[in-house]
Chain A
Amino acid sequence: MSPVDPLAELKLNPAISPATIEHETKRLGLDKPIYVQYIYWAKNFVKGDMGTTTSGELVSTKLKERAGNTLLLSFCVIVATWLVGIPLGVVAALNFKKTADRLILFFATIGMAIPSFFLAVLCLIFAQKTGAFPIGNLTSSNFYSLSFFGKFIDIAHHLVLPVFVLTVISAGSLIRQMRANLLDTLDSDYVKFARAKGLPEHVVIVKHALKNAINPMITLLGFEFAGLLSGAALTEYIFQYPGLGRLILEAVMKSDINLVMASLMIGSFMLVLGNLIADILLKVTDPRIKS
């Protein structure tokens, strides 16, 4: 399908004889029709052999490292959005139509509208001007000489800006969802009953309303993860974060087909897995769901 010729570089090099090119074409199976090539690739992929990149490294080692970094980033962002989103959503719902509610909704709407790459660029300006945060990569150049604790701090320091950008982008919808859910449950009969029973307000909210309002949020977790994989690509690219999104982008630009195919597969796999985990979590937390 791709109009890219993997041997274009060799063909343009006058020092390489046509015989070598023919040999390479045979070796890589490029003389066969496209579906045969695909079957070759799929067979090898299932066996765990993802081929090599154009620069000669094994695709699998490269992917392992990058996918891990993206998972780390996504995990931090999900934790951060929940830590920010849930309390703000609750505060907004409890102050329905008051100043605090309006203010929180206002910031949520703004966060949802900022293009991630624009915010990332603004953060870069900030990092450059103040020098408070390192730019690019996940580790400093002296990473291996640091103590375990120092390594941890170093990675955390590098993660701050990307996590901040992605949290701002994705917390908005979480806040709104949480607010809507809690408003719904506050309106329900069992909350009214709990109040009528004379329970103190904080018990009503924490024990009765909040518990039920958070449940639907767990389904959102899967969606959030899917959105993060996509949204992180641009952010990773701008911050030069060594993640899957940046890997796939670079592979696309270099038309490194093996790498593109494999990272696409891994990305999809992670997405499906994320959704599966969210479903299982929902089953664990909500006893009403039965198979």
Chain B
Amino acid sequence: MKELLKRIYRDKITLCATIVLVALYIAILFADFLAIYPENFSDRKLSYAPPSNIYVIDMEGKLSKPYTYNYVKSFDSKTLNITFKEDKSQKHYINFFKDGKLISTDSDGRLFLLGTDINGRDNYSRLLYGGQISLTIGFLALFVSFPLGLMYGGISGYFGGKTDLVMMRVAEAIMSIPSFYLLIILASILPSSMTSAQRFALIVVILAFIGWAGFARVVRGMVLSIKNEDYVKSAKILGASDFRIIWKHILPQTSSYVIVAITLSVPSYILAESGLSFLGLGIQQPDASWGNMLKEAQEFTNIISRPWLLAPGGLIFIAVLSFNLLGDTIRDYLDPKGKLS
């Protein structure tokens, strides 16, 4: 472990990736403190407002406490254009560390660091709350799929024979369905009347269901070779139960593969969730997730005149990139010859 940390510290790119990931997780952990508005705060008059400008130099050219102006929406009925103008009559000063928030303005002021969405909700705050879902759902799915895959592969490989034959055909049947097709079909079965917590849990289960089969197959292959080792035979002679042998003697031998596979598969879970939510089959409004926030980028007018709506896509990219880079370093460390995976 110490060796691994040293390795991460030495490689500058991996170090950057790790720092980015830690920062992202700290940000979503303290989302309530960092966010300016609650998740579902909306100002219906200010839908699609651009990011607010923050001024530190006032009209007279003097340095001042940072302040911002509110936007006023105006609609030109001839050209059908919506324009936002700053209402320069009223300054709204920005407060730091007030009322349990890092940044806030007075109650009439509106500070939208990354603009707003169609409902006038603050994009920046929702990015933080959305990250709470997007960045954790992958890990939760791993906690379901990996124990399942380990046990399944372990039992199948250890008992061999007919058990193995049946179990592996089942796993292969699942693997033969294109994973994304299966994903959208399973997600579409979910009834729309569920609470958001139930929906979240079921999406975790669905994501896990997609991933376990391939993993189980590799574990089975490793178990097949491990079970002929002498220490397994001696454990058997000593009278250990089958379950104990699988759990205590065989599966620990696969741990380095498991760790490598886990770190390398987190990004694919993140991508799968955001893809699902992007299509409207994953996390539903009003809950935020990076995927369903990016859903607004499906409209042409939005991507061309409101580029701030693309921010969640950038964050998904950064998170996945960092996980990949970190995963590579961990793999190089645990599996220097590339024998696993």
Nearest CB in chain B to that of A118: its residue: B313
> How many residue pairs bridge A and B at CB < 8 Å?
101
B324 A248 Cβ-Cβ under 8 A: no
Contacts of B75 in A (CB 8 A): none
A interface residues, tally (CB under 8 Å)? 40
Q: Name A177's closest neighbour in chain B (CB-CB).
A: B338
Question: A229: which of B178, B188, B338 is its contact (CB, 8 Å)?
Answer: B178
Question: Could you say which residues of chain B place their CB within 8 Å of the CB of A233?
Answer: 178, 180-181, 184
**Known contacts A2-B189, A121-B298, A253-B188; A245 and B181 CB within 8 A of each other:** yes
Which residue of chain A is the closest to B323 with respect to CB atoms?
A113
Q: Which of A109, A124, A180, A263 contacts B338 (CB 8 A)?
A: A180
From 268 to 318 in chain B, residues with beta carbon under 8 angstroms from any chain A beta carbon are: 271, 274-275, 278-279, 281, 294, 297-298, 300, 303-304, 310, 313-314, 316-317
Residues of the A chain whose Cβ atoms lie less than 8 Å from the Cβ of B189 = 1-3
B300 partner residues in chain A, CB cutoff 8 A: 124, 128
- Interface size for B (C-beta < 8 A) is 36
Closest CB-CB distance, A225 to chain B, in whole Å?
10
Interface contact A115-B320, CB-CB below 8 Å: yes
A72 in contact (CB, < 8 A) = no
Q: A117-B275, A128-B304, A264-B177 are in contact. Are A109 and B184 (CB under 8 A)?
A: no
User: For residues 199 through 236 of chain A, which have their beta carbon under 8 Å from a beta carbon of chain B?
Assistant: 226, 229-231, 233-234
In the bound complex, CA of A245 to CA of B316 (Å) = 23
The stretch from A141-149, A189-197, A265-273 touching chain B is A265-273
Instruction: Summarize B's interface: helix, strand, loop or mixed.
Output: helix
Verify A234–B317 contact, CB threshold 8 A. Answer: no
Do A113 and B317 contact each other (CB < 8 Å), given the known contacts A2-B189, A268-B176? yes
Is A76 close to B, CB under 8 A? no
- Chain A hits for B271, CB < 8 A: 115
Given contacts A117-B275, A234-B278, A234-B279, contact A248 B321 (CB under 8 A): no
By the criterion CB–CB under 8 Å, are A115 and B176 in contact? no
Q: Interface digits, A99-115 against B, CB 8 Å rule (1 contact, 0 not)?
A: 00000000001101111
Task: Point out the residues of chain B lying under 8 angstroms from A114, CB to CB.
Answer: 317, 320
Among residues of A, the one whose C-beta sits closest to the C-beta of B302 is A121
B191 at the interface (CB under 8 A from A): yes
Near A by CB (< 8 A), chain B positions 181-204 give: 181-182, 184-185, 188-189, 191
> Can you show 17 pairs from A to B with CB atoms below 8 A apart?
A1-B189, A109-B328, A113-B267, A113-B324, A115-B275, A115-B317, A117-B313, A118-B294, A124-B303, A226-B178, A248-B184, A260-B185, A264-B177, A264-B182, A268-B178, A271-B176, A271-B177
Which residues of B line the A interface, CB within 8 A?
Answer: 176-182, 184-185, 188-189, 191, 267, 271, 274-275, 278-279, 281, 294, 297-298, 300, 303-304, 310, 313-314, 316-317, 320-321, 324-325, 328, 338
